[in-house]
Amino acid sequence: MINYKLLTPGPLTTTDTVKKEMLVDHCTWDSDYKQITQQIRAELLDLAHVSPDEYTCVLMQGSGTFGVESAITSSVGKTGKLLILSNGAYGERQEDICKHAGLNYRIQHFHYNEIPDAETVKAILDEDPNITHVSMVHSETTSGILNDIESIAYVVKPAGKVFIVDAMSSFCGVEIPVAEWGIDFIISSANKCIQGVPGFSFIICRLDELMKCEGKAVSLSLDLYDQWKGMFDGKWRFTSPTHVVLAFAKALEEMKQEGGIPARNRRYTENNRLLITEMEKLGYKTYIDAAHQGPVITTFFYPETANYTFKEMYEFIKARGYAIYPGKVTEAETFRIGNIGEIYQEDIEKLISIYREFLASKTEKP
Ligand SMILES: *Cc1c(COP(=O)(O)O)cnc(C)c1O
Q: Using the atom order of ligand 1, give the atom closest to the CA of residue 169.
A: 15
State the architecture of 16-256 in CATH terms. Answer: 3-Layer(aba) Sandwich (3.40)
* Domain parsing of the chain, residue ranges: 5-9+259-363, 16-256
**Is the C-beta atom of 9 inside 6 A of ligand 1?**
yes
CB 232 within 8 A of CB 222: no
Cβ–ligand 1 distance for 201 under 6 Å, the answer no
Q: How many helices, marked H, and strands, marked E, lie in the chain?
A: 12, 14
pLDDT of 366 above 60: no
Q: What is the model's pLDDT at position 168?
A: 98
From 6, 68, 90, the mutation candidate for ligand 1 (largest count of ligand atoms within 8 A of CB) is 90
The tens digit of pLDDT for each residue in 320-346 reads 999 999 998 877 899 999 999 999 999
351 closest CA partner among 2, 4, 3: 4
**What pLDDT, in 10s, does the model give residues 158-189?**
999 999 999 999 999 999 999 999 999 999 99
Residue nearest to atom 9 of ligand 1 (CA): 64
Query: CATH for 5-9+259-363?
Result: 3.90.1150.10
Please state, in angstroms and rounded to a whole number, the distance separating the CA atoms of residues 272 and 100: 36
Q: Is the Cβ–Cβ distance between 178 and 157 less than 8 Å?
A: no
Handedness of CA 179, 200, 18, 338 (dihedral sign): negative
Q: How many CB atoms lie within 10 A of CB 313?
A: 19
Does the beta carbon of 340 lie inside 6 Å of ligand 1? Answer: no
Predicted confidence band of residue 365 (pLDDT cuts 50, 70, 90): low
Measuring from atom 3 of ligand 1, which residue has the nearest CA?
64
Report d(CA 291, CA 225) in Å as an integer: 38
Q: What percent of the chain has pLDDT over 70?
A: 99
Distance 1 CA to ligand 1 centre (A): 27
Distance of CA 50 to the CA centre of its chain: 19
